[in-house]
Amino acid sequence: MLRGIRKASSNWLGRAVMAVVLGLIAVSFAIWGIGDIFRGFGRSTVAKIGSTEITVDQFRQIYNDRLQQLSRELGRPITPDQARALQLDQQLAGQLVAEAALDQRARQMRLNVPDAEIARQITNDPTFKGLNGQFDRARFEQIIRGAGFTEARFTAEQKKLTTRREIAQTVTGEMPLPKTMADALNRFQNEQRAIDYVVLDRAKAGEIAAPTPEAIQKYYDDHKAEFRTPEYRTVVVMAVAPADLAKPGDVSDADAKNYYDRNANRFGSPERRHIEQIVFPTLEEAQAAAARLEKSELTFEALAKERGLTEKDIDLGTVTKSGIIDQAIADAAFSLKEGETGAPVKGVFGTALIHVVKVEPADIKPFEQVAPEIRQTIATDRARGELASRHDKIEDERAAGLRLTEVAQKLALTARTIEAVDRQGRDPYGNQISGLPGVDVISAAFRSDMGVENEPMQMAGGGYVWFEVANVKPSRERALDEVRTRVGEKWREDQVSARLKTKAAELVDRLKGGASLNDVAAAEGLAVQTTFGVKRADNAASMPRSVIEAVFAAAKGEPGSAEGKDANERVLFVLTDVAVPSFDAASSEGKRVEESARRSLTEDLLAQYVGRLQTELGATINMEALRRVASGSSSDQN
């Protein structure tokens, strides 16, 4: 059921509910506190609210679906450790608990949505309309089957989503937006400022004499923590992915050619055609129209106009064959020559005449060029079946007491030993460890202990990564003689920063005393620069955040200074102009600002309402079960 909710809410009606309600669960927890809600209980249950339970299997399926969705949106795989760093597991658990809370409250209030209303929503949804703009049952059934639904389950889920939306709208109502709030938000987002400024660089700090031994000793004593060695660990890593087990040489030419023939469009641009279509209610009318076209009595466009159709009505656009839903229409359209009009074709929506305006030929790489890639793909797919068997063999050997290096040797695999790595993935020389599998195995290793048998980590796209901590070298305090050079460098950097800050303060005082920035800059040999249109949120790339904050803390005509791109740079500025934006509620910007403010108020109310429901119904989340799912463990044992 919950998987269905997630799939349903990823497309049409659900998006409205999710945007308004379910993206706010983190806010809800922030308001009502999460200390009491997160506590462990049954091994097979991830969360419980009132009488509703969310099982580990349900949550694992939803969690994996969400990971795949995020990976598709970002264009790269999201590793389990990256997901945990984003607290995706806790956010998703909170979201599911909120959904269950709203569903339970709806049952308590005996709320229901008539079947006729759900039917109206579905038939009016553009997702399920065909080329003629009408509801297409065949398309509807195809789409929901692809999403794993039966018609009964889909309509049931839409009832729940609609009920949640009605509850949300009742809580928020038609909330009036205070004009003062809209004005303030508009000013915060759109106020622009202009400054004249100069940059004080390291050279303006003057000559810095070498530090005395006493200065070095004092700086070291005051900053010992900065110079400690990090904790280093020896980590053994063994990764097994489908590609590692693949045997491209075992793929026959016939299999590779068959794959190419079925998937040729993957290896280039398929043929595309600009197609026009006129649909007739009967075969007789279509045949009569075709006869007139054949006799050149009128053009295809004139025929459409005669039937009261516009160019937009008949234009299917430039499409591939697979982009045409109606197979009969697709076959007919791609059998014609450019500029040709075909005989009447009986399609799903009626009998149609097809006209090909333009043909864009296919540009597909030849089989010989892509054959190695195809063999690797086929071999990798075949290896996925072997992967589970290999996983079980490795686990059996580990259960027998073998270490990863011994398992690798016995099963002809490769185990890599990283002799020393810190939490940031660097070796003792500061170099980043390279060649690691596509999961954050280093972070996982630092959460483990030496000698512990850890659960394998799942790789995006299939595969597992096993790891062991073979040794731990604790962090230690370095003696001054070990880090004297680095201490000297840090001392000098701090001296430069302090001098620049003092220099900037002196120049600010001169400006406050009546000197102009041009005079001050000339005396210091600096060039005055000007920048306009500085906004609070839109200038991070062109102006350091510290400078933007200082600029918006200043009054017009007032000088100020702030750290530049690093501690060895200081920006001295004078605020020359403040452009306060007017607020026109009728303008597009005004409507955007009002919508943003109203959405913030709505989200705040809904977050509090959902949080209160959780408190009343009693919500618990099993953190141990969440950890198992997020780590990729398939075991339900602690």
At position 585, the amino acid (one-letter code) is: A
Taking alpha carbons only, the member of 559, 577, 570 closest to residue 526 is: 570
Taking alpha carbons only, the member of 625, 573, 605, 616 closest to residue 199 is: 573
Separation of alpha carbons 192 and 526, rounded Å: 26
Separation of alpha carbons 246 and 361, rounded Å: 35
pLDDT tens string 14-55: 333 333 333 433 333 332 333 333 334 455 788 888 888 888
pLDDT tens string 186-218: 888 889 999 999 999 999 998 899 999 999 999
Taking alpha carbons only, the member of 24, 26, 48 closest to residue 618 is: 48
Are the C-beta atoms of 314 and 333 separated by less than 8 Å? no
Residues in Cβ contact with 581 at an 8 Å cutoff, skipping those fewer than 6 apart: 186, 187, 190, 191, 192
pLDDT tens string 357-381: 999 998 888 888 888 888 888 888 7
| Range scoring the smallest mean pLDDT among 138-152, 233-247, 598-612 | 138-152
pLDDT at res. 7: 36
User: If DSSP states are collapsed to H, E and C, what string results for 93-143?
Assistant: HHHHHHHHHHHHHHHHCCCCCCHHHHHHHHHHCHHHECCCCCECHHHHHHH
Separation of alpha carbons 440 and 72, rounded Å: 19
Residue 53, token pair as written in the block: 């339970």
Give, in degrees to the nearest 5, the angle at Cα 272 between 267 and 273.
170
pLDDT tens string 218-244: 999 999 988 889 999 999 999 998 888
Instruction: With H, G, I as helix, E, B as strand and everything else as coil, classify residue 561.
Output: strand
Instruction: With H, G, I as helix, E, B as strand and everything else as coil, classify residue 21.
Output: coil
Q: Which residue has the higher pLDDT, 86 or 231?
A: 231
Taking alpha carbons only, the member of 174, 176, 173 closest to residue 609 is: 173
Separation of alpha carbons 74 and 580, rounded Å: 37
Q: Which whole-number Å values give the CA distances from 501 to 515, 527, 537, in the listed order?
A: 19, 19, 25
Instruction: With H, G, I as helix, E, B as strand and everything else as coil, classify residue 437.
Output: coil
Query: CB count, 10 Å around CB of 422?
Result: 19
Rounded to a whole number of angstroms, the CA Rg of the chain reads: 33
| Range scoring the smallest mean pLDDT among 52-56, 85-89, 525-529, 556-560 | 85-89
Task: Identify the bridge partners of residue 38 per DSSP, sorted by sequence position.
Answer: 621
Taking alpha carbons only, the member of 524, 511, 635 closest to residue 573 is: 511
Q: Which residue has the higher pLDDT, 504 or 437?
A: 504
pLDDT at res. 59: 84
Residue 433, token pair as written in the block: 């460890």
pLDDT at res. 556: 94
Place of tokens 């070298």: 473
Strand-strand pairing, 45-49 and 345-347: unpaired
pLDDT at res. 146: 62
Residues in Cβ contact with 503 at an 8 Å cutoff, skipping those fewer than 6 apart: 200, 204, 205, 570
Residues in Cβ contact with 520 at an 8 Å cutoff, skipping those fewer than 6 apart: 198, 507, 510, 511, 526, 572
Residues in Cβ contact with 138 at an 8 Å cutoff, skipping those fewer than 6 apart: 348
Are the C-beta atoms of 321 and 334 separated by less than 8 Å? yes
Q: Which residue has the higher pLDDT, 36 or 67?
A: 67
User: What average pLDDT score do residues 123-137 get?
Assistant: 78
Separation of alpha carbons 387 and 299, rounded Å: 61
User: Across the chain, what does the average pLDDT equal?
Assistant: 83
Residues in Cβ contact with 308 at an 8 Å cutoff, skipping those fewer than 6 apart: none
Q: DSSP readout, 347-404?
A: ETTEEEEEEEEEEE--EE--HHHHHHHHHHHHHHHHHHHHHHHHHHHHHHHHHTT--H
Residues in Cβ contact with 579 at an 8 Å cutoff, skipping those fewer than 6 apart: 191, 192, 193, 194
Is residue 246 predicted with pLDDT exceeding 70? yes
Place of tokens 């209610």: 281
Check residue 309 and report its DSSP letter. -
